[in-house]
């Protein structure tokens, strides 16, 4: 399911009504940090899994 330009405009309009223009930058910054932390956590988990796999192969 992909969002087209019309759907994105509707979502943005609803966000503007609910949160106001002053809160939008704060929300996007918080969302960006959440995504960054999630990606770092996933990369860390993959690194641990690879290390565990290589340790098992040596035994």
Q: What is the pLDDT of residues 11-53, one digit of tens each?
A: 989 988 998 888 888 988 999 999 999 999 988 888 777 777 6
Angstrom distance (rounded) from CA 29 to CA 38 = 14
pLDDT value at position 37?
A: 94
Sorting pLDDT into bands at 50, 70 and 90, what band is 57? Answer: low
Sorting pLDDT into bands at 50, 70 and 90, what band is 59? Answer: low
Angstrom distance (rounded) from CA 49 to CA 43 = 10
Q: Residue 3 carries which DSSP code?
A: -
Q: Residue 59 carries which DSSP code?
A: -
pTM of this structure: 0.56
Helices (H), the chain: 5-19, 24-58
CB 37 within 8 A of CB 45: no
* Residue 24: both structure tokens together: 């939008």
pLDDT value at position 2?
A: 83
């Amino acid at each position: 399911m992909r969002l087209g330009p019309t759907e994105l405009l509707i979502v943005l309009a609803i966000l503007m009504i609910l949160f106001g223009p002053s809160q939008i930058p704060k929300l996007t910054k918080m969302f960006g940090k959440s995504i960054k932390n999630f990606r770092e956590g996933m990369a860390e988990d993959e690194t641990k899994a690879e290390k565990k796999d290589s340790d098992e192969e040596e035994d």
